[in-house]
Structure 1
Amino acid sequence: MNSNNKVACPLDCYDACQGQMIENNIKGSKEHKTTNGKLCVNFANLLKEKNLEKAIYEGKEISLDESLNILVDKLKQTTPIKTLFYKGSGNIGVMQSVTKNFFTLYGSTLTRGSLCDGGGGAGIEAGRTNVINPPLEKLLNADVIVVWGRNFSVTSSHMYNLVKDKTFVTIDPVCTDIAKKSKIHMQINPKTDYELALLLTRFAHMQDLEDKEFIEEFGNNADDFFDISRGRPVVSYEATTGIPLSLVNDFFDLIENKNVAIMVGLGVQKYFEGSQIMRCIDSFAAFMGYHKKEAGGVWYLSNSAFGYKKPFEIKGNNKKVSIPKVDFGSYDLVFIQGANPVVSHPNTKKVIEGLKNSFVVYFGTTLNETCEYANLIIPSTSFLSKKDVRLSYGHELKSISQIVKEKTQESLSEYELTNFLLEKFGFEKLKDEDEIISYFENHKPELEEFETFEFLDELDIEPLYKQKTQDNFYFITAKNKNSLNSQFSKDDFVYLNSKTNFKDGDIVNISSKYGNAKFEVKIDDDIKENCAFFFAGNKNANYLTPALEDEDSFSAMYQEVLVQIELS
């Protein structure tokens, strides 16, 4: 068997699968603990995708060399600060960030913040320095797994398969697949997760279940956090969160004297005060001592690069713009790498208007909705034909990608494009590619010792339920098991509970203060009746969302919105 047969899945999901090329077929790697010999649906779908074969300029196919010459000419004719470098997560191998090296040296405007996890990450860092998940072994040894705002069996199918026989609790406005497999499902009202965390803290204290040793040794401001939790009557939480107090009692009966893992998803922090919401959840976990137990802990989107040197980081004084507030039309040239902002970026109407007013370069492996507005399209080499390392934000394991398929001559890798541009503009070229990859392959970061925890000691969150009326709905999204964001299968429906009195097939106009769009209704009683639910990648959903940043991390806050629904 060829020893160069490893293939790391580049997709933006928790598991970071590793495959192997066996007799011209990609199979799941048995040596990779989470992949465990089986490919997931997303990896299988990726292998079926048709890659770009030719560069395109103003709608006509051209050669790769011609496309690169056009790019160089445009960059030389443009004031650097009037160019925008916009990178997505179509491929999140470590080598994919190399292109930022050139655009930093060139002087482009760069983005800061995140479209998915920034608020939650800021909340965790405020309490315990780094966004680092516990070792996978602690999840495997947990007794009870609390899935909080995360459809664990869909978004982390490999990790789920390792623990599927555990006892689960789900906290989610949607009765997800994992909720149906759970002992307890708390069908919470959106943007009240912080209130539930405070309520759980209050119950823990009343039942004398808090970890006094942890609080004494590691916890700062624990008394202040507890004071926040008892600042209102216990019964008042029932109406705002939608969670009966009896269910909270059941929860504590279930977890008492158990090793508990909390798997937190992105849904809890897609709001203006997302960092405070996450910090409340993390502070409840600390109140229970979960951060220092021999099993269990809190998992979120880990900083996958923690403990590694940044091989491409160049210090520059580049202007940076908050990613959700990007105005594409204010730049003369926009370089988009592995992203589909026409679908994935907030406020679609503003995105399209902006792209129409700029020279747009798209660099990626497949065509998507954003390519319709691109003046120049440059094919990126398939992940099967370039070397890379995929670090995981779901666990500490890494996946290796070797070249298992000959690359097409009309494409080039991110490393090749960057070196080409560096040379054309007189900058120093990159380190040898093998040297960079070898470092990531062979380096094993040490986990950070837990020294102290800063409990949340002040809370200032404006609840959405204060603005909500009987005539509007919470806007919520989640991942689809048949797609990954805007890749693969398309699902552009709005899902509503039958109690809303809409019917299957109704065409409705949905509006918010940021925009409006038409949708076809699918009735699904797994959706809470006060919610309008959309799968991530719905091509019209972001007509409704705000191009605004959260309070702490320059990040998007997609769900900080209420919508109205009318028959069209």
Structure 2
Amino acid sequence: MNSNKKVACPLDCYDACQAEIIDENIKGSKEHFTTNSKLCVNFAQLLKEDYHQSPKFNNEDISLEESLEVLSAKLKDNDASKTLFYEGSGNLGKMQAAVKNFFTQYGSTLTKGSLCDGGGGLGIEQGRGSIVNPPIQKLIDSDVIVVWGRNFSVTSSHMYNLVKDKTFITIDPIKTDIAKKSDIHMQINPKTDYELALLLTRFANMQDIEDEEFLEEHSEGAEWFFDITRNRPVVSYEATTGVSLALVNQFFELIENKKVSFVVGLGVQKYFEGAQIMRCIDSLAAYLGVHKKQAGGVWYLSNSSHGYENQFKVKSSIKNKKVSVAQVDFSSYDLVFIQGANPVVSAPNTKAVIEGLKNSFVVCFTTTYNDTCEYADLIIPASSFLSKADVRLSYGHEYKAISNAIENPKENTISEYKLASVLIEKFGFEALKSEEEILDYYTNKTVEYEEFETFEFIEEVDVEPLYKHKNSTNFYLITAKSKNSLNSQFTIDNHVYLNESSGFKNNDAVKISSSFGEANFTVKLSEDIKSECAFFYAGNKKVNYLTPNKEDEESFSAMFQEVLIEIELSSTL
């Protein structure tokens, strides 16, 4: 390895770490503001990954050249509209978009929506016009940080280290690591976040701590929003949200006359009306005036490409059909090309995913052999992130991470840019810009944060609570990130976590069912789990047998937690 080289972590994390080569070792970059010389657990585990290096066709090892010939022949024999390009977030470097350029020119069906943040992102966009986080210095300069549905100290460890001396308030059904570090933990009932946002807005008005100057600028929308909060008695929120009014009073005692930030996670919007729920939270923050302060603001999973021009964009005359990523029926396509994704674990309704893959010709373009590869007809190994230059833009903060190629690609592997270039040449499509030109653009482009000019408060809320349909034997399904894994990578925990009040015991074998499917699990009891909730770590190989392959209300995205489940003892695992 060469010295003084930069390496960007490609993983799907808020922090977007950058490392550098020092004395032949990969260490956290000193020059990268959020990394600040320290590598996180996920980056460290990534460096130990066993990368797949053998192309396979029908379970037989072949050469890279042979795998590209098989792919080209299949694409030439198929109707382009009967192929699907399915891209995951296994690598978030900008150069990964090269392959999509080819499949767009080819005429493949593409996906729309998100398995991750789509509903919440739309809600923020509807209020502010774009999904852009404030400069991280505003978070650093705040006094109080409200962590809403996000295990901030685990999923954003570098960002957390910059603000760990602040006062924290956590709103989450689970007693997360950050909840245990917080002055207040509001252990809210699932899918009542919008109700709590309305209740807090009502209290802000009652205690005269709303931002009158901000509201004056947006008086019409603010009045409509506040009217929603007065539609029911204040005391009624205690029973539905599970948050006491005494705790709400403590909340305002902590934030009054303080600089406040809201750090919002994905858990709040994994529902049918996810956009509305997020918009209620963002409207609460606006009512308090945090958006326009010198310090504080609202952080979510932002659009990391905001302000950048897509360097892989194809001619506007090309119109591809798009299907909701939450509702993809893989069996509808003669060929499915999967890049950097593991839908057998990560997509909703695993049974439907597997059945669909069994009835299509599946190509997996991946760095590691994952669960979806079991159903692949053709596997093409992607080169390691250490062997290709790239730029990683962060969705957690404004700092980019630069990646140089610090080692040669392994034999029989190929980079995304190279694969796209080979296919484009074979099919006679418009060539990509040079690799150097694209990298120079993303490396040198400077994007300045711009305050949004207007804010539109949500003026109507129509959310169907899950508690209206819940019976005494139902549990709420909740998923969240683990400190030892990232989605379906690394150390996977396949247990179901229940509160001791559930009536089950440690290591009980249970069958869990929903209206979408069933699976067997082993129970782990934890006082950190709210009663009547069943908690699963992201990447659990069985949990998505229970989740709906339906899209949410507005953003064509998945709604993993829009489900109630039943749990019973089982004799098998």
Pairing 1:491-510 to 2, within 5 Å after superposition: 491-510=493-512
Report if the CA contact (8 A) 2:498-2:531 is conserved.
yes
Report if the CA contact (8 A) 1:328-1:355 is conserved.
yes
Q: In the aligned structure 1, how far is the partner of 2:209 from the partner of 2:340?
A: 47
State the Cα distance separating 1:3 from its structure 2 match.
6.1
1:141 aligns with 2:141: yes
1:166 aligns with 2:166: yes
Report if the CA contact (8 A) 2:3-2:22 is conserved.
no
Pairing 1:72-91 to 2, within 5 Å after superposition: 72-91=72-91
Report if the CA contact (8 A) 2:4-2:22 is conserved.
no
Q: In the aligned structure 1, how far is the partner of 2:219 from the partner of 2:51?
A: 52
**TM-score, length-scaled by structure 2:** 0.98
Pairing 1:38-187 to 2, within 5 Å after superposition: 38-187=38-187
Report if the CA contact (8 A) 2:95-2:390 is conserved.
yes
Q: What is aligned with 1:466?
A: 468
Q: What is aligned with 2:203?
A: 203
Question: What do residues 233-256 of structure 1 show as CA deviations (whole Å, max 9, x unaligned)?
Answer: 000000000000000000000000
From 337, 356, 359, the counterpart of 1:354 = 356
1:524 aligns with 2:539: no
Q: In the aligned structure 2, how far is the partner of 1:242 from the partner of 1:186?
A: 8
Q: Secondary structure at the match of 1:516?
A: strand
Report if the CA contact (8 A) 2:2-2:406 is conserved.
no
Question: What do residues 61-96 of structure 1 show as CA deviations (whole Å, max 9, x unaligned)?
Answer: 110000000000000010000000000000000111
State the Cα distance separating 1:23 from its structure 2 match.
2.5
**Relative to 1, partners in 2 of residues 1:204 and 1:147: Cα closer, same or farther, differing over 3 Å?**
same
Q: In the aligned structure 2, how far is the partner of 1:219 from the partner of 1:62?
A: 66
Q: In the aligned structure 1, how far is the partner of 2:36 from the partner of 2:219?
A: 38
Q: In the aligned structure 2, how far is the partner of 1:476 from the partner of 1:264?
A: 16
State the Cα distance separating 1:413 from its structure 2 match.
0.5
Report if the CA contact (8 A) 1:218-1:451 is conserved.
no
Q: In the aligned structure 1, how far is the partner of 2:174 from the partner of 2:220?
A: 35
More off after superposition, 447-456 vs 506-515:
447-456
Q: Secondary structure at the match of 1:533?
A: strand
From 334, 337, 340, the counterpart of 1:338 = 340
State the Cα distance separating 1:490 from its structure 2 match.
1.1
Large movers: runs of 4+ above 3 Å: 1-4
Q: In the aligned structure 1, how far is the partner of 2:444 from the partner of 2:220?
A: 37
Report if the CA contact (8 A) 1:4-1:404 is conserved.
no
Query: RMSD over aligned Cα, in angstroms?
Result: 0.9
State the Cα distance separating 1:405 from its structure 2 match.
1.1
Q: Secondary structure at the match of 1:522?
A: strand
Q: What is aligned with 1:490?
A: 492
Q: Secondary structure at the match of 1:221?
A: helix
Q: In the aligned structure 2, how far is the partner of 1:42 from the partner of 1:501?
A: 35
Q: Which runs of 5+ in 2 are unaligned?
A: none
Q: What is aligned with 2:29?
A: 29
Q: In the aligned structure 1, how far is the partner of 2:123 from the partner of 2:559?
A: 14
Q: In the aligned structure 1, how far is the partner of 2:366 from the partner of 2:340?
A: 5
In the alignment of these two chains, the number of paired residues is 568
Q: Secondary structure at the match of 1:509?
A: strand
2:531 counterpart letter in structure 1: E
2:116 counterpart letter in structure 1: C
Report if the CA contact (8 A) 2:348-2:558 is conserved.
yes
State the Cα distance separating 1:501 from its structure 2 match.
1.2
State the Cα distance separating 1:220 from its structure 2 match.
4.3
2:143 counterpart letter in structure 1: D
Report if the CA contact (8 A) 1:4-1:402 is conserved.
no
Report if the CA contact (8 A) 1:219-1:452 is conserved.
no
From 478, 481, 484, the counterpart of 1:479 = 481
Q: Secondary structure at the match of 1:377?
A: strand
1:303 counterpart letter in structure 2: N
Quick one: percent identity of the two aligned structures? 69
Question: What do residues 448-476 of structure 1 show as CA deviations (whole Å, max 9, x unaligned)?
Answer: 23211100001110000000111000000
Q: Secondary structure at the match of 1:453?
A: coil
2:536 counterpart letter in structure 1: F
